[in-house]
Amino acid sequence: MTLSRRQRHSGQDAPWYDDQAGRLVRPYTISNGRTRPTAHFDLMTMVMATGRRPASCQGPDYAQVLALCGKPVSVAEIAAHIRLPAAVTKVLLADLVDWGALTARAPAAVAAGPASRTDRALLEAVLNGLRKRL
């Protein structure tokens, strides 16, 4: 007999899941109904834990995000790992930045110039390779 996902994750801090329905706690409840973060985050913004923990336990989603941020990681990667929409993930990340538990850094800009031009031949080779595989 195999256990359902809900039975396997029966700890107090485990997210609520149902095998057919998926996550039982809706994203807007995780962000307390907020849809806009207090800081600007791009999907490529890199975040990293500072080592400080929030004064009070904020819930399993915050703990899960902090566990993922031991090294620099992008907002998009975090959203994918915790299986939440990017908008909700950005609200959680903004809270953690406000509490001093995370630092955020915008992605480095690439200088425009001859060295940064896209190589057309390389792009065509990639396109041809994709066409052959599909």
Q: pLDDT for 79-118, tens place per residue?
A: 999 888 888 889 889 988 988 999 999 877 766 666 556 7
Three-state secondary structure call for residue 108 = coil
Domain ranges of the chain: 5-133
The pLDDT value given to residue 106: 86
pTM for this entry: 0.59
Please give the residue that has the higher pLDDT: either 121 or 15.
121
Where does 1-134 show beta strands of DSSP type E? 17-18, 22-23, 46-49, 73-74, 102-105
Residue 32 pLDDT exceeds 90: no
Distance CA 55, CA 35 (A): 23
